[in-house]
Structure 1
Amino acid sequence: MSSEEKRAWIYVVVGVVVPVAYLTTVLSKVPGTDVARIAYVGPMLTAIGVGICASIVLAIMTAMASPQDAGQTDERDREINRRGEFVGFYVMSVAAIVPLVLAIAEVEHFWIAHALYLAFVLAALASAVVKIVAYRRG
């Protein structure tokens, strides 16, 4: 398994675990509560920071575990990365319509922020999954 494929797997794991933990924590407060009163900004920024840091730390640990593979990319890796980023861009472009519509409809900031957060998460997951599939199937 190449270092780039390992990195894609890290992004998938972190991209699922961190948002699920965050959304479970914050959305459990929604029933019976005015969403304007839910303190979500700090936890959301924490989740974003934890996701970024976890991805970096895990990528470094993976590179240290197999230093002979670290940083080595070839044409296939670059093509797979390009394809994954391409799909991620389109997923983000389509998913960003939801927060835009919510903003136009003047919905609570809570829902707009979470729709945008989910758009980023979906784009990152789509990109990583496309890369993994490309590595596995060619």
Structure 2
Amino acid sequence: MSFMEKINLAALAGGVLALGWYLVRVVPQIGQVPLDEIAWKWPMAIAMGIFIVLLVISAVRMAISDPAVRKADGIIDDERDRDIERRGDAWGGHAMHAVGFAALVMLVLDVHSFWIAQTLFVGGMLAGVVSIGVKLFAYRGEV
């Protein structure tokens, strides 16, 4: 398994954990309290922090333990890795464009800012999952 594939697996795990943590705190409030009173801003910020911290810790641990990273030449990816990253990022970008478009439509329709924020955050996380999913399938030769 290449270093970049390991990084993508770590990003997927961290993203799923952070999103799950966030949803467990916010979803139960929907329908129970008015939208203006739902506590979502700090949990969203904390979820982003959780994701970043988990990704950094995972990357450092993998870099320390991966012999290819410790080599003096510093080459941790090859042409295949770069092609897979490019393809996955393109698909993730397409998904994020759809999320952004949905948020713009919601703004035009005067949808409550809570729902717009949720669309951007959850949609952004899911766009990341799409990106990583394409990369992981490509590493297995299925894309």
TM-score calculated relative to the size of structure 2: 0.90
Alpha-carbon distance in structure 1 between the residues aligned to 2:65 and 2:77: 17
Matched, 1:113 2:113: no
Matched, 1:78 2:119: no
Match of 1:87 in 2: 91
Alpha-carbon distance in structure 2 between the residues aligned to 1:109 and 1:94: 18
Match of 2:68 in 1: 69
Match of 2:41 in 1: 41
The 3-state SS of whatever aligns with 1:137 is coil
Q: Structure 1: state its 5+ residue gaps.
A: none
Matched residues, number: 137
Alpha-carbon distance in structure 1 between the residues aligned to 2:118 and 2:110: 14
Give 1:61's aligned amino acid.
R
Kindly report the root-mean-square deviation, in angstroms, between the aligned alpha carbons of the 2 structures. 1.3
Match of 2:129 in 1: 125
Match of 2:52 in 1: 52
Alpha-carbon distance in structure 2 between the residues aligned to 1:41 and 1:32: 17
| Bigger Cα displacement from structure 2, 92-101 vs 2-11 | 92-101
Per-residue deviation at 1:130?
A: 0.7
Alpha-carbon distance in structure 2 between the residues aligned to 1:106 and 1:4: 41
Which stretches of structure 1, 4 residues or more, deviate above 3 A after TM superposition?
A: none
Q: Structure 2: state its 5+ residue gaps.
A: 70-74
Per-residue deviation at 1:33?
A: 1.1
Match of 1:22 in 2: 22
- What is the aligned counterpart of 2:107 among 67, 82, 103? 103
Alpha-carbon distance in structure 2 between the residues aligned to 1:72 and 1:62: 11
Alpha-carbon distance in structure 2 between the residues aligned to 1:137 and 1:53: 30
TM-score calculated relative to the size of structure 1: 0.93
Give 1:88's aligned amino acid.
G
The 3-state SS of whatever aligns with 1:28 is helix
Q: Percent identity?
A: 33
